[in-house]
Amino acid sequence: MTVLTHHRYGKAGVRLFTVEHRDDRHEIADLALRIALSGDFEQTYLTGDNSGVLPTDSQRNAVYALAAEHGVRSLEEFGLLLARHFLDNDPSVSSAEIHVRQAPWDRLTEQHSFVKLRDECRFTTVQATRERWSVISGVDGLSLLNSTNSEFRGFRKDVYTTLAETSDRILATHAVAGWRYAGLEHPWDKNFAQARNALMNAFTATYSRSLQQTLYEMGQAVLHACGDVDAVRLRLRNLHHLPAPLAPLGVQPPAGRQIFVATDQPYGLIEGSVARAGAQHLQVGGEPW
Amino acid sequence: MTVLTHHRYGKAGVRLFTVEHRDDRHEIADLALRIALSGDFEQTYLTGDNSGVLPTDSQRNAVYALAAEHGVRSLEEFGLLLARHFLDNDPSVSSAEIHVRQAPWDRLTEQHSFVKLRDECRFTTVQATRERWSVISGVDGLSLLNSTNSEFRGFRKDVYTTLAETSDRILATHAVAGWRYAGLEHPWDKNFAQARNALMNAFTATYSRSLQQTLYEMGQAVLHACGDVDAVRLRLRNLHHLPAPLAPLGVQPPAGRQIFVATDQPYGLIEGSVARAGAQHLQVGGEPW
Amino acid sequence: MTVLTHHRYGKAGVRLFTVEHRDDRHEIADLALRIALSGDFEQTYLTGDNSGVLPTDSQRNAVYALAAEHGVRSLEEFGLLLARHFLDNDPSVSSAEIHVRQAPWDRLTEQHSFVKLRDECRFTTVQATRERWSVISGVDGLSLLNSTNSEFRGFRKDVYTTLAETSDRILATHAVAGWRYAGLEHPWDKNFAQARNALMNAFTATYSRSLQQTLYEMGQAVLHACGDVDAVRLRLRNLHHLPAPLAPLGVQPPAGRQIFVATDQPYGLIEGSVARAGAQHLQVGGEPW
Amino acid sequence: MTVLTHHRYGKAGVRLFTVEHRDDRHEIADLALRIALSGDFEQTYLTGDNSGVLPTDSQRNAVYALAAEHGVRSLEEFGLLLARHFLDNDPSVSSAEIHVRQAPWDRLTEQHSFVKLRDECRFTTVQATRERWSVISGVDGLSLLNSTNSEFRGFRKDVYTTLAETSDRILATHAVAGWRYAGLEHPWDKNFAQARNALMNAFTATYSRSLQQTLYEMGQAVLHACGDVDAVRLRLRNLHHLPAPLAPLGVQPPAGRQIFVATDQPYGLIEGSVARAGAQHLQVGGEPW
């Protein structure tokens, strides 16, 4: 005998672009959303009875309709609005997860011209049941590099260790950082800017003995900068830059010049969570916090 | 005060390609691996003391060395071998996760020629502590399509529902399927072939009232085909094919011809787990099983 | 003073999916199209006068309408149909280029179930003026590998050469192959199958002294297999597989086992055209034939 | 009888990362290069005789060696240096093409910290024979958006035209722009900055009646800003933003708020070249200039 143990469904890849005219100055938001609803939906799995299933197409329409009525003030507020909408209007829904990603358009003029410079994106994940709500926000794809002030020495050696110790290396990372808010009403955009700055400043200012150490400094910096945040989760790719094989070529760069080969594969992957002492340790979205 | 609550580290994007000569016939394996170790590694985060940290470079070397000594008989066996290696040789390690993906080369000749047809890949994730082991295997990117025998009717309507009911639509999916093995010694390759066939056959044979229903049939089919498996997890993209807007163009296809617009965004996302009654409900890799 | 020297415009990323019912057996086509029109369209560039500009939206509609009326018998026939449509219906158009790519769905059942093998796609480019037509078809992303029967020796050495000669290496390639047809009426699908087989057979059967040599054999094989083709153009990535650095690890594989590191970057890139003696040497689509 | 009509070979995906210490301030360059050499290399295609073939591995080594000896002052200078190297040192080479792409790291501190804005990259293509040299530089992936000041009206209608005229739409583009230099010695970095600014300013300042018109203004602006440039080539994706289907949902946004659906497919593709009157019309790299 088989049983259905877990299930959820929803719409992903929902694109929303909004313009708000404030006299001559336009504000834009360029979002992609993913909605996942859990609840009393077993029958469609087990028998194909769809009578309790709101089409994912209607979920997409809700995005447009709520954006039209309320506007998008911030990712977090809009995510909360959507989660509330599904919980309030569909008694079958016991849990809603709204994931929102924002394309990073920067202003070119004071009026209505924009440039999208960055691959980096801001995101938020709202998870809500009727009893418990959480908001996790973050940045995906923040690429940072220090061309010095990084070493890696004194590590454990085993039978397969061939890596040389180094007291000066390039430290480069592709970072995903998420932070969990302690409540549901905060100045979201201000917190985002503060957290992102804290991440960059900590990376820049840390003399690094390991990327793990830098990770912990980055997490602490977000907690220090954002009183509204009680835990930070970081996932840092260690993007290796290998010294180019110059010796066999019979060439040597002059003092002050270094030649490296940047590589994509393999890469180190360093993960960690930093929390205020006493903050709840939770599973949120399959990740330990 | 801040604390480090969760952490792990390792090497990802490790590429391994092996050739085994069986007389004139060559067997190849083209793998990408990700290793993540948890354990007593706080000091490098907190103080930069690396004395307990085995470099991720040594982890990569272990992949090559163990492949050289033991060969790659199957993804699962090689993943178990690696997990054991890290647990046995490093007392600081309390938990090891090995994720392996295999590029799908097919044989062109009986000797030593191959073609890589598919984007689809086979994967396995081994998770191990000294007490508890789990092996989850699966296929990522299985794309399936039925051009009929699919309907979507009788669903719940809310104030934003505009979707028309349909009794004949295209059902197309990009599937990720994983199955959990009940133990650690099985004919892995045979199980993989049986599970993949079961997924395809169930998709093909099901007259679908919803993609959820098809998901449940696919999960059941894997459990039926593979006695060694006790739970199946599926994540199905519903790839929408919209009728092309022909009416305003004043054209109508002849009977038996249908014209659609395939779309990538947005897409439905249907998730579910199917387990044998009585199988353990676990969190594995952040996912509920 | 500035002048507009070259220009063209059109719609790209047009998705078309067709189903033809032949009793219980369905035939499907899953296409992406790009249309580019050249002609008497200067005014919109110079002054914004759009009176001669057919919207790209109407070009997309033409794809749907012509598919509805005529069906898609083959990529080439449908590309020719579209090119003719634009030349016949818009006197401003002097030249039309239609590029069509087909997703490779394979049949799972005799009726209406399919599986997509996605790494490789068939394409065609039709270029047409009122006087001159050309059809180039091909395959993009054919990945082939021989685990032996490849050497690279006797090459020129310069001051920076450090590569060792080898008499046994892995030869792996990601191939783009295009072939030019001598006329406009051919059994297109049969030619495609023959050309693709010829490419695979020549790659497999050639004892390779360089990927260049293999390229020439592949080109010749297409000309031999397809009497309707008068020139072949190949672009082969040489995907390097480096011996894994086992010696410093103190391990050695048993006889008959080889351990490599597959790499994506850098890669060799070998290009060449093979034509029947006497075939026209043309520029087609910016490429020399 | 078959003949080899065109051929070239080289190394692609060559990664180079350089650091120059100017006291405490570090300058970095993060490049990916592609080298293609043409010349007297038929024998390896026809017979597998490699005696005239410099390995692509040696070409990669030349990149490292020349970077070590000369540094990377600008993409263009380094591309010219490499082209000269191959022409000077290998009499078999008749033509060399060097394509260089630069990852856009921005300075975070005055010393040695950087952040990568990754969607956009600067590139250069140097093409050289012993008689004729050309340098084309540009930017790939400049994404620009005006939320108003764009219309599309007065266009030609055919039988399939359903597009409504609009006097206010979003104009968004993903631009690839290349410009050809009139000679081989210029202040390359200054020209790049001026050209990029000119592109952005022209896009911003143009009241657009068609994306074609905007293209011509952008091309003119580069010629106006950069006296060293004699031709500009532009390839603009027209990224459509469709009004969200609000009417069937019974909602209407307040005045000053607009709701769109951003789409990736299909997209318009507008191409054009703008040159100084009297500049040479050439084929460079398969593109008409």
* pLDDT one-digit tens code per residue, B116-142: 877 789 999 999 999 999 999 999 999
Residues of chain A with pLDDT under 70: 282-287
Tens-digit pLDDT profile for residues C21-57: 998 899 999 999 999 999 999 999 999 999 999 999 9
Nearest to A272 among B6, B55, B152 (CB): B6
Q: Could you tell me which chain D residue has the CA closest to the CA of B251?
A: D160
Name every chain C residue with its beta carbon within 8 A of the beta carbon of D163: 55, 57-58
Residue A209 forms contact with B (CB below 8 Å): yes
| Helix, strand, coil shares, percent, chain B, to 5 | 25, 45, 35
Q: What are phi and psi of D193, to 5 degrees?
A: -60, -40
Distance from CA of B43 to the nearest CA of A (A): 9
Contact D212 C45 (CB under 8 A): yes
Q: B157, B158, B160: best mutation site toward chain D, by most D Cβ within 10 Å?
A: B160
Q: Which two tokens stand for residue D6?
A: 């065109």
Distance from CA of D151 to the nearest CA of B (A): 23
Catalytic residues of A: 11, 56, 240
Task: Give the residue-averaged pLDDT of B19-26.
Answer: 94
Does residue C284 carry a pLDDT above 80? Answer: no
* Strand extents, DSSP E, chain C: 2-12, 14-22, 25-39, 93-102, 105-107, 113-116, 121-129, 133-146, 171-181, 229-238, 241-243, 257-262, 267-276, 283-284, 287-288
How high is the pLDDT of residue D279? 87
Length of chain A: 289
- Whether C56 is catalytic is yes
Decide if D86 contacts D67 (C-beta within 8 A): no
Q: How far apart are CA B234 and CA B270, in angstroms?
A: 8
Contact D257 A118 (CB under 8 A): no
Does residue B276 carry a pLDDT above 70? Answer: yes
How high is the pLDDT of residue B230? 96
pLDDT confidence band for C1 (50 / 70 / 90) = confident
pLDDT confidence band for D278 (50 / 70 / 90) = confident
Contact D7 C212 (CB under 8 A): yes
Distance from CA of C267 to the nearest CA of B (A): 15
Residue D265 forms contact with B (CB below 8 Å): yes
Return mean pLDDT, chain B: 95
Decide if B1 contacts A276 (C-beta within 8 A): yes
Q: Could you tell me which chain B residue has the CA closest to the CA of C257?
A: B20
Residue D254 forms contact with B (CB below 8 Å): no
- Which helix (H) or strand (E) segment holds residue D82: the answer is helix D75-89
Which residue of the set C18, C44, C56, C129 is catalytic? C56
Task: Give the residue-averaged pLDDT of C250-270.
Answer: 97
DSSP readout, B107-155?
A: ESSSSSEEEE--S-EEEEEEEEESS-EEEEEEEEEEEEEESSSB-B-S-
Task: Give the residue-averaged pLDDT of C140-159.
Answer: 96
Does residue D66 carry a pLDDT above 80? Answer: yes
Distance from CA of C263 to the nearest CA of B (A): 8
Residue A167 forms contact with B (CB below 8 Å): no
How high is the pLDDT of residue B54? 97
How high is the pLDDT of residue A116? 87
Name every chain D residue with its beta carbon within 8 A of the beta carbon of B160: 249
Name every chain A residue with its beta carbon within 8 A of the beta carbon of D71: 253, 257
Return mean pLDDT, chain C: 95
Q: Can you name the residues that pair with C99 across neighbouring β-strands? A: C34, C125
Q: C157, C160, C239, C267: best mutation site toward chain A, by most A Cβ within 10 Å?
A: C160
Contact D10 C268 (CB under 8 A): yes
How high is the pLDDT of residue B55? 98
Q: Residue B150 burial by CB count (10 A; 0-12/13-18/19+): exposed, middle or buried?
A: buried
DSSP readout, A130-162?
A: SS-EEEEEEEEEEEEEESSSB-B-S----TT--
Percent of chain A whose predicted confidence (pLDDT) is above 70: 98
Residue C242 forms contact with B (CB below 8 Å): no
Decide if A4 contacts A42 (C-beta within 8 A): yes
Decide if C54 contacts C42 (C-beta within 8 A): no
Task: Give the residue-averaged pLDDT of C175-201.
Answer: 97
Whether the pTM exceeds 0.90: the reply is yes
How high is the pLDDT of residue D118? 60
Q: How far apart are CA C184 and CA C76, in angstroms?
A: 9
Task: Give the residue-averaged pLDDT of D138-164.
Answer: 96
Q: Can you name the residues that pair with D259 across neighbouring β-strands? A: A18
Residue A266 forms contact with C (CB below 8 Å): no
Q: How far apart are CA B66 and CA B77, in angstroms?
A: 11
Residue A163 forms contact with C (CB below 8 Å): no
Q: D72, D122, D257, D267: best mutation site toward chain A, by most A Cβ within 10 Å?
A: D257
Catalytic residues of D: 11, 56, 240
Instruction: Show the CA angle centred on residue A156, arms to residues A152 and A158, nearest 5°.
Output: 125
Q: How far apart are CA A208 and CA A146, in angstroms?
A: 10
Residue C164 forms contact with D (CB below 8 Å): no
Residue C106: CB atoms within 10 A of its CB come to: 10
Return mean pLDDT, chain D: 95
DSSP readout, C69-100?
A: HH--S-HHHHHHHHHHHHHHH-TTEEEEEEEE
Name every chain B residue with its beta carbon within 8 A of the beta carbon of D250: 159
Contact C58 D162 (CB under 8 A): yes
C–D interface: beta-carbon pairs under 8 A: 275
Does residue D116 carry a pLDDT above 90? Answer: no
pLDDT confidence band for D282 (50 / 70 / 90) = low
Q: Residues near D136 by Cβ (< 8 Å), separated by ≥ 6?
A: D124, D125, D127, D178, D179, D180, D181, D233, D284, D285
pLDDT confidence band for C221 (50 / 70 / 90) = very high
Distance from CA of C253 to the nearest CA of D (A): 27
List subunits contacting chain C, requiring 3 or more Cβ pairs under 8 Å: A, B, D
Decide if A257 contacts D22 (C-beta within 8 A): no
Does residue D173 carry a pLDDT above 90? Answer: yes
Nearest to B11 among A10, A215, A268 (CB): A268
Task: Give the residue-averaged pLDDT of B264-270.
Answer: 96
Chain C, window 81-110: residues with a beta carbon less than 8 angstroms from a chain B beta carbon: 105, 108-109
pLDDT confidence band for C282 (50 / 70 / 90) = low
Nearest to D162 among B159, B160, B248 (CB): B248
Residue D15 forms contact with A (CB below 8 Å): yes
Distance from CA of A25 to the nearest CA of B (A): 30
Instruction: Show the CA angle centred on residue B82, arms to residues B80 and B85, nearest 5°.
Output: 110
Q: Could you tell me which chain D residue has the CA closest to the CA of B265?
A: D263
Contact B56 A161 (CB under 8 A): no
List subunits contacting chain A, requiring 3 or more Cβ pairs under 8 Å: B, C, D
How high is the pLDDT of residue B158? 96
Characterize D56-71 residue by residue with b for buried, 16 or more Cβ atoms within 10 angstroms of its Cβ, and e for exposed.
bbbbbbbbbbbbbbeb
- Whether C224 is catalytic is no
Contact D61 C212 (CB under 8 A): no
Residue D116 forms contact with A (CB below 8 Å): yes
Residue D58 forms contact with A (CB below 8 Å): no
How high is the pLDDT of residue C212? 98
Does residue D272 carry a pLDDT above 70? Answer: yes
How high is the pLDDT of residue A286? 64
Does residue D82 carry a pLDDT above 90? Answer: yes
Name every chain A residue with its beta carbon within 8 A of the beta carbon of D61: 245, 249
Contact D9 C274 (CB under 8 A): no
Residue A283 forms contact with C (CB below 8 Å): no
